[in-house]
Chains A and B, each alone.
Chain A
């Protein structure tokens, strides 16, 4: 295989669309031709750059799925639907116990606060810490100090990556109270600013796309990843906070 032929087939090779003998022939040529190898390396770098940086998989807005379901009549049953007690009666005590549990779960789910309410709690937590200078209960740039401290005080263990290389060095952590439960607050620095990241687990596992709002001079960004709620708040600009949330999400 010569250079012309190799470069002609480089894209299907990169995309793993070639049959095995052709791919092997290109493997061999690339091993012996620095010129073609360079071209291939450039294309590979471009590919990983696109896959890594391009806006994608934010996911559809939650309301979109709801709207479509509503149009098609396939939306899940209403949260407040009465449990089907009559159906369970013959199943005895075990089923009754299960009914109580799912009923409780349904109430908790239904009474989950709106994002708006959570945003207010997060802003209040951040503002309180700033005005009382009670920013950190554990002040350390060492993730191996901050994480065990938080884990020892909470019933979960938040990821505590050090994001210094992304421009957000870890400063410490504290406890806050959000969504009717104690939560971990990680404190990061962004130049002269402080970013608080509130972290707590949610009963319902799964991920949710990143959302943002601006309120009372603060920017707030939140998302859900692996069943954990993440709420970042700061007075840095929205783009920087977004960069921070991405750096954290990628590092965790």
Chain B
């Protein structure tokens, strides 16, 4: 019986030798698994919202995990989730620049984007309508549609805030912008979402 046991393990050790990523540190892999794999769902969902495509989200997520594993030694024990999400974001932007060079070449103009359409949304007007929109049977489609039409700079802050429930500080670190910018992007993103939801209501 002991012999069978040895045979069963043999292929595993061969593969380990063949894969340079694994090297000689199984404890590193265990540490990675313990700290980051619990956040794989969050990583995947975030990648999915950035790339807006299941297949690409998987690739981005897998690549991000490998990157996270390689730089595991620089992890200082802060939030594993925020750390992994930051890597997902970096990986996404690398992918984005490579695959959508035209779109990536357009710089995000913070001031114009934040200021654009400052007027035009009446925040005080009908709570009733937004409440009703969100009660309707196609609310899911509408909310997703509204989130999808946001530019990625706005989409990422709103997703991290509302769906990952991260603090401004964590979002600032992930998105690599000051906290004040997180705040103004959130305000703007919410305004655009309201605008979009009401617009689809009218049309």
Contacts and interface: CB of A to CB of B under 8 A. Distances in A.
Interface of A: 7, 10-12, 15, 17, 35, 38-39, 41-43, 45-61, 64-65, 67-69, 71-74, 78, 80-82, 84-86, 167, 243, 246
B130 A12 contact: no
A68 B60 CA distance: 12
B158 A49 contact: no
Contact of A47 (B19, B69, B162, B187): B162
Interface of B is mostly: helix
A54 B183 contact: no
A85 to B, nearest CB: 5
Given A11-B190, A39-B123, A68 B62 contact: yes
A55 to B, nearest CB: 6
Contacts of A73: 12, 15-16, 19, 21-22, 26, 29
Interface of B: 1-2, 4-5, 8-9, 12, 15-16, 19, 21-22, 26, 29-30, 32-33, 37, 40-41, 43-45, 48-49, 58, 61-62, 65-66, 69, 123-124, 127, 130-131, 133-134, 137, 139-140, 142-144, 147, 158-159, 161-163, 167-168, 183, 186-187, 190, 193-194, 197
25 contacts: A11-B183, A12-B168, A35-B124, A42-B194, A43-B123, A45-B127, A45-B131, A46-B194, A48-B134, A49-B130, A49-B134, A50-B163, A51-B163, A52-B134, A53-B134, A53-B143, A57-B41, A59-B41, A60-B41, A64-B62, A65-B37, A73-B12, A73-B16, A82-B4, A85-B1
Contact of A243 (B37, B137, B147, B163): B137
A35 B29 CA distance: 55
Contacts of B8: 78, 80-82
Contacts of A80: 8
Contacts of A46: 130, 134, 190, 193-194, 197
Contact of B66 (A54, A57, A71): A71
A242 to B, nearest CB: 9
A65 B144 CA distance: 26
Nearest to B7: A82
Contacts of A58: 45, 48
Given A15-B168, A49-B197, A72-B21, 10 more contacts: A7-B123, A38-B127, A42-B194, A50-B163, A54-B143, A55-B49, A56-B163, A61-B44, A73-B15, A81-B8
A5 to B, nearest CB: 14
Contacts of B4: 82
A61 B58 contact: yes
A81 B6 CA distance: 10
A157 to B, nearest CB: 29
Contact of B162 (A42, A50, A78, A243): A50
Nearest to B43: A60
Contact of B123 (A42, A69, A78, A246): A42
